[in-house]
A and B are shown apart, each in its own frame.
Chain A
Amino acid sequence: MRNIFRNALTGFVVLTLCFAGVLRAEAKQPAKMKASAIEVKMIPSDELTLPTEFQISLYENLVEQLQKKAVFTRVYRDGDKNAVSAADLITLECTVVKFKKGNETLRQVTTVAGATSMTLRCEFTDKNGKSLLVRDITGNVRFFGGSLKATYDFAKKAAKVADENFSSGTAGS
Chain B
Amino acid sequence: MILRISTLVIAVALFFCGPLMRTAHGQQAQTETQAVQVIGLVGLKENTKGRLTVVNGTLRFAFSKGNIEVSAVSIEDVVTGKDSQRVIGGTVGTVASLAAPYGTGSALPLFRKKVDTLTIQYRDADGGLHGAIFTMPRGQADSIKKELVAQGAHTSVPIVADLMKSLRDAREEKR
Contact = CB atoms under 8 A, between A and B. Distances in A.
Interface of A: 42, 51-53, 55-57, 59-61, 76-82, 104-105, 108-109, 144, 146, 148
A105 B81 contact: no
B112 interface: yes
A148 B38 contact: yes
Contacts of A108: 97, 106, 108-109
Interface residues of B, number: 30
Nearest to A148: B38
Given A79-B123, A80-B127, A56 B97 contact: no
Contacts of B75: none
B62 interface: no
B94 interface: yes
B68 interface: no
Nearest to B78: A52
Contacts of A77: 124, 128-130
Among the interface residues B77, B126, B129, which one has the most CB atoms of the partner chain A within 10 A? Answer: B129
Contact of B86 (A56, A57, A60, A104): A104
A57 B39 CA distance: 7
Interface of B: 38-40, 77, 79, 81, 83, 85-86, 94, 97, 106-110, 112, 117, 119, 121, 123-124, 126-133
Contact of B106 (A76, A80, A82, A109): A109
B39 A60 contact: yes
Given A60-B130, A78-B129, A80-B126, 16 more contacts: A42-B131, A53-B38, A53-B117, A53-B133, A56-B39, A56-B121, A56-B133, A60-B40, A60-B131, A77-B124, A79-B123, A79-B128, A80-B128, A108-B97, A109-B106, A144-B94
Nearest to A105: B109
B127 A79 contact: yes
Nearest to B38: A148
